[in-house]
Structure 1
Amino acid sequence: MTLNLCVLTPNRILWDSEVKEIILPTNSGQIGVLPNHASIVTTLDIGVLRIRRFNDQWFTIALMGGFTRIRNNEITILATAAEKGSDIDPQEAKQTLQIAEDSLRKAEDKRQRIEAKLAIKRASTRVKAINPIS
C-alpha cells in the first residue's frame, strides 16, 4: 500500500510521487501519515515535511505554511512556499538565520519583534531541512 504525495507551490510542482510515509508540520503539531490514514484537511505550519521513500531513505522539504488534504491515500499539499532540503545552500541558510536573530536583538517595537521571530522560524526551518533523518 502506498501514498501518492503531491506538493504544490504557486510556482511549480515540487514533488509528485508515491511514498511510504510522511510527517507533516501542522498548526497543532506534527502528524505522521501512513497508508489508509483518516481523511482530513488541515493547515500547515512553517516547518519541515519529512518524506520516507520505499528504500527507507528520508527526504525533507522546508514548508512555509499552507494547507493539506489527505483522502484515499492521496496527499495534496498546497504550500505558500517550499524548498527541497537538498536544494538549500547550508552556508546561506545559516547566514540568513544569523541575520534574523540579529534583527530580533535590534527590534525596537512589538511589530519588529513579531516580524523578526517569524523570520527566525522560516530561517531555522530551512536549516533543519538541510539534513534528513537517517
Structure 2
Amino acid sequence: MGYLLWIFGFIGAHRFYYGRQITGVIWFFTLGLLFVGWIIDLLLIPGMARDADHRYDSGETDYDLAWILLTFLGVFGIHRFYMGKIFTGLLYLLTLGLFGIGVLYDFLTLNGQIDDLNRRRH
C-alpha cells in the first residue's frame, strides 16, 4: 500500500499513511521537497512500514482500504462511511470534504481514528 500511495507522495500521502504527519505536511506544501525527498522515500518505505506495523493495531477496519478510499474518494466521504461515521460521511459528501479541510484533517488523523475503532471492537 505504501508504494501505491508513494505515487502520490509528492503530496505526502505515503508519509501520512505511515503516521509521519509532520513530514507529510511538509511534503504536501513543498511537493515532496521539490520531488527530491519523494524519490529518496522510495528507499525509505520499508523502514517506515516496519515502524507503522508496531505502532497501530490491526482489526476489523482495514487501514489499506480506508487509505485507498481517503486518497481517491476523500472529498466524497466514502472512507468515513466505511468507518461507520455516517453523519460526517454525509457532511463530507455535501461539502466536498468540508471544502478540502476535512480531507487534510483525515490525512493527519486517519491512522489514529482506525486504531481507536479497532481497539474499541476488541
TM-score (norm 1): 0.25
Looking at secondary structure, tell me which structure has more strand per residue. Answer: 1
Looking at secondary structure, tell me which structure has more helix per residue. Answer: 2
Query: Rg: which structure is higher?
Result: 1
